[in-house]
Amino acid sequence: MSECATLCLVSAWETGVPTNNDNRRRAFSDVVTIDAWHDAFGDGTARVELHADVVFDEARVGGEQASPVRFRLRIRCAEVVVVVPEHEPVEVDKASVSRDTPSIDGTLLTSEVTKLAATGRASVVAAPGAVVGLVAGGLRASKDVTLCKDVRAPLDLFSIIQSQTADGEYRWVLKPAEQAFLSGRPWDATERPRLTLIDRRKDKSAPLPPSVRVEVRCLREDLEIDDFQVKDEGAWERMRRTVGFKNRLAAAESYIRDQLMKEGLEVENISDPFGRLTLASVVAHQQVEED
One DSSP character per residue, 217-282 reads EEEGGGEEEEEEEES-HHHHHHHHHHH--SSHHHHHHHHHHHHHHHTT--B--TTSTT-EEEEEEE
User: What is the pTM assigned to this prediction?
Assistant: 0.71
The residue ranges of every structural domain in the chain are 3-101+156-287, 109-151
Give residue 124's pLDDT band: very low, low, confident or very high (50, 70, 90): very low
Digit-coded pLDDT (tens) for 151-209? 665 567 889 999 999 999 999 999 998 889 999 999 999 999 999 999 998 887 777 88
What is the full DSSP assignment across 162-202?
A: EEE-TTS-EEEEEEESSSSS--B-SS-TTT--SEEEEE--S
What mean pLDDT is reported for the chain?
A: 77
Q: What is the mean pLDDT of residues 242-264?
A: 76
- DSSP character at residue 94: G
